[in-house]
Amino acid sequence: MKIGFAAPVSGSWATPPNLARVARRAEELGYDSLWTFQRLLSPVDASWGEPYRAVQDPIVALSYVAALTERIRLGVAVLNLPFFSPVLLAKQLTTVDIMSGGRLDVGLGIGWAAEEFAAVGVDPRGRGRRAEEFVTALHALWTDEEVEHEGEFYRVPRTRMDPKPVQRPHPPVLLGAKAEAALRRTGRLADGWISSSSTDLRTIGDSIALVREAAADAGRDASALRFVCRGPVMVGPGGAAGRRPLTGSFAEIRGDLAVLAEQGVTEVFADLNFDPEIGSPDADPAESMRRAEAALTELAPR
C-alpha cells in the first residue's frame, strides 16, 4: 500500500514556508504523494469544524509545491466539480500537470455545502447527472484534437484545447463518493475512489467492494482501480478505549494502516489538517509543525 501525506493547507500552519518544508521533507522520506483539499467558505458559527475555517486554494498550493519537488505525486482530494466549468478546470489542471512533469492526481466530488452552492450560483439539484457529464467533457478536453460537447449542463463549441496534459491519456480522475449511487458512478467512470474525512474506516472495505462491483458490471478492469483513503490522523496517548482508526500512538496508527490494506485500500495519506489542534486558525503554528515533523518521520514508508 502506498503512503502519502497531506500538505498544510488549513489553519494557522498553512504558510508558504511550512508548505515548502512539508513537501520537501515528504519527498525526502519517500512518501508517494502529497494532497490538498478544497473549501470555499465556512459558516460563521464554525459548525462544520475547525479545519474548514481557513483553507488555502488547493490548485494554487499544488502549483507552488510542484516547483519545489521532483518525484512525489501531487493530488487534490477533492475539488467540487459543480463549482467549475469543465473548460476552466481542464486548463488549470493541465497546467499543473505540465509544471509538475506529469505528477497530478485529480480528485473530484459533487459538493455538499448549501452555502457554497449559493455563493457560486449553482443549483445543487442533479449533481449526479452533472458529475457524469462533467467527467465526460473533461476527458474530451484532455484527449480529443477537436472538442465539441452539447449536454444538459455544459456546452463546448467546436474548438481545440491545447496544450494537452503530460500524462496520457490524461491525469488520473478519482471520484469522492459516499452514497451507493455515487460509489457505483465511480466504478463506471473513474480511475479510482477517494474516501472522505468522515468515512468509517472500520468498514471502508464495503465501499471498495461496491465500486469494484460497479466497475465489473460496466465491463471494466476492477483490479486496475485505485482506492485512496484520506487518513485523518490524530496522534495521542495509546490504549484509549473505543479508539478510532488512525488515532492514538504512532504504533497503533501504523497497525491501522495494515488493516486498511487488508480491506482493499491501495493508498492512504496521513492528513493532519483534520486535527482541530493543528488545522485551526487559532492553533499554534510552531507546535503544529513540530507535530507534523514527528508524524512525517514516524509514518514514513518503510
Q: What does the pLDDT read at residue 250?
A: 98
CA atoms of 103 and 166, how far apart (whole Å): 9
Q: What is the pTM of this model?
A: 0.96
What's the sign of the alpha-carbon dihedral 103, 108, 111, 117? positive
CA distances from 184 to 53, 128, 193, 204 (A): 32, 11, 10, 15
Q: What does the pLDDT read at residue 27?
A: 98
* pLDDT-based confidence at residue 26 (cuts at 50, 70, 90): very high
Q: Give the length of the chain.
A: 302
> pLDDT > 90: what percent of the chain?
99
Q: What does the pLDDT read at residue 88?
A: 98
* pLDDT-based confidence at residue 180 (cuts at 50, 70, 90): very high
* pLDDT-based confidence at residue 205 (cuts at 50, 70, 90): very high
pLDDT tens profile 285-301: 999 999 999 999 999 99
Q: What does the pLDDT read at residue 271?
A: 98
Q: What does the pLDDT read at residue 134?
A: 98
Q: What does the pLDDT read at residue 45?
A: 93
Q: What does the pLDDT read at residue 204?
A: 98
Mean local confidence (pLDDT), 197-223: 97
**Mean pLDDT, the chain, integer:** 97
Mean local confidence (pLDDT), 102-113: 97
